[in-house]
Structure 1
Amino acid sequence: MNEEKFTLKEIFTHKTSTHEFQIHWTRLGDPSKPALVFIHGFPWSSIVWQDLASALDTRYCIYLYDHPGFGQSPQTRRHGDNESDLDPTLILRAEASAALFKHWNLSKPAHVVAHDNGGLVSLRLFVEHGLKFASLCLINVVAIGPFGSPFFQLVANNQSVFQALPASFIAGLARSYIKTATHRPLGSQTEDLLVQQWQEHGSQGPARFLQDIVQAHHRAIGEVEAQYPRVGSQIPVKIIWGKNDSWIPSERASALSDALNARELVFLEDAGHLVQYDQPSKLASEITRWLTMHEQ
């Protein structure tokens, strides 16, 4: 695969009274084509979308970006100490993403595909920031409680203990955790690529990995979840779920589908949380069919 093609060459900076965000992004394909935005979650980056982007960039104008503190985007800078770093993090992430969408100044609403807690970001964009989507496809998303696996709870409840561990140990935890995201073993090169940002000399580092786990355990979304019923009544929503997801049980997909009034709910067999690598062809087929149905 052409790595240069997926380099996030563009940089967008957004400043608020309390924070400064720097987002690295890129655009693929013909700008005159319908816009398609991919939103990643934790502990990932835009890397997880590369195969799908390659499959679709002749039909759509693809937008890829790394959230602040992920992949190629540096961590959020705080101007003051006005808020805790725990609960507001996804709120801030959605705020930065909303600013990026507005910076793009798209002529028509984009199709959005989101994974993991990128799903909650996408829903905040729609519910809280008033962004319009042509369609929304959610893949094994974090969007309905309760949140946090037993591992997340262990880290959150023993934060000082984990923070005292050597960085190399935390980097090993990150690798072990990422290995559990797929139903089939990841290839060594793919595994290294996904883990790289959390290593001692990676773009983010082990401490950042721990920080996001603690934040996930303290998440509160009641004000957003209460708005879910109107989402499906205003835009077409599809949910795709790897049936063998060991991180988020498949029952959560059905509950989310009901809450959002989703038009489609599809389970993919022999796929875990990271469907992009377990069933790339089936995922591409499902998304292509969905997008074709809702082209404007």
Structure 2
Amino acid sequence: MFARFSECISTADGVELAVYGSGDPAHPTAVFVHGFPDDHRVWVGLTPLLAADHHVVTYDVRGSGASAKPRRIADYRLEVLAADLQAVIDHVNRGQGVHLVGHDWGSVQGWHLITDPGHRGVLSYTSISGPCIDHVRGWIGRRARARQWGAIAALWKSPLYMGALQVPMLAPLMCRLGVVDLMAAGAVTAFERPEDLDPWPVGPNARANGAAVRMYAANLLRRLSRSDRGGTSVPVQILTPTSDVFIPPVSQQDPHPDVRTVRVEPVVGGHWAPAYNPSAITSHLEDWITQQQTRQAREPER
């Protein structure tokens, strides 16, 4: 049996974040960041699998779940979201560091944090279905120079739905009317494996978490037009769901050339593989965290 806790922490700008934990804090700590339109419950199938031997921490990103929901678009800029993530890490880190895991927009936030030279406490990073926005221009440039037009063409869906979701008045309306939830439900029905449904106790809920849609308007054009993020020395594992209709697997491969350590692994499932195929995600995480813990233990001996 593993312990559970939930609490609220305050960020630098006074936003309350709901934080949840499972497992023994003496074990290696893994911090999970969900995307849109989810909340911390996207990890509900994975948590009991990993918490037997790890300290698992999840939280509701601002605008979602039980966390506060600021109304200004500027309150959802990546530098603010990454500062929230750093606050969570600082709160749960007991001096041993944490293994960071992000999905969708949570993955984008994780990339933003680890490519900041001032980040603290991250031993490794696992990205699922969410590349670094600042790396997209460079990725397209490398594909174009290599004449890999098929890889670039695979991104055609992204401008369609992301473009709609970054329109300040349209995006919240789409959430309130249930349009985003219908899109998500269609993707789940079409691309997740039926044998992996447990069923999932909660699905994407844009009606409840619609405030977080502001992160599209706050970041997409702004970050794409002035990309200023480089690489990182944090070891990175990239898990690519094979049937992800929103973030094609090819777009997650070949990150910034200055990302020093990269392991790319396919995972059967669609965009919500963390919820519908948690055992596969957990297996990769356990192996990755064990490798990184072993590496960290050997470093002082050098």
TM superposition score normalised by structure 2: 0.76
Is 2:6 aligned against 1:9? yes
Q: Which amino acid aligns with 2:10?
A: T
Deviation at 1:286, TM superposition (A): 1.4
Question: Which sections of structure 2, spanning at least 5 residues, go unmatched?
Answer: 138-154, 298-302
Is 2:140 aligned against 1:140? no
Instruction: Find the residue that maps to 1:145 and give its secondary structure.
Output: helix
Instruction: Find the residue that maps to 2:66 and give its secondary structure.
Output: coil
Give distance in 2, aligned partners of 1:145 and 1:52.
Answer: 29
RMSD of equivalent CA atoms:
3.2
8 Å CA contact retained: 1:87, 1:218: no
Q: Which amino acid aligns with 2:283?
A: S
Higher relative contact order (CA closer than 8 Å, sequence separation 6+): 2
Query: Percent identity between the aligned chains?
Result: 20
Q: How does 1:1-296 map to 2 (within 5 A)?
A: 9-15=6-12, 19-76=13-70, 85-86=73-74, 89-128=77-116, 129-143=118-132, 144-145=135-136, 148-157=158-167, 159-160=168-169, 170-182=176-188, 183-184=191-192, 190=200, 193-196=202-205, 198-199=206-207, 202=208, 204=209, 206=210, 208=211, 210-220=213-223, 226-228=229-231, 231=232, 234-256=233-255, 258=257, 260-269=259-268, 271-295=269-293, 296=297
Instruction: Find the residue that maps to 2:19 and give its secondary structure.
Output: strand
Instruction: Find the residue that maps to 2:119 and give its secondary structure.
Output: coil
Deviations 1:185-223 (A, max 9, x none): 786963x72244x33xx3x4x4x2553443354340677
Deviation at 1:245, TM superposition (A): 1.1
The 3 A distance-change label for structure 1 pair 93 and 51 is same
Question: Which sections of structure 1, spanning at least 5 residues, go unmatched?
Answer: 79-84
Deviation at 1:87, TM superposition (A): 8.8
Q: Which amino acid aligns with 2:273?
A: V
8 Å CA contact retained: 2:230, 2:258: no
TM superposition score normalised by structure 1: 0.77
Give distance in 1, aligned partners of 2:86 and 2:179.
Answer: 32
Q: Which amino acid aligns with 1:248?
A: I
Deviations 1:64-103 (A, max 9, x none): 111111111111377xxxxxx2596221111122122223
Deviation at 1:261, TM superposition (A): 3.7
The 3 A distance-change label for structure 1 pair 134 and 44 is same
Instruction: Find the residue that maps to 2:223 and give its secondary structure.
Output: coil
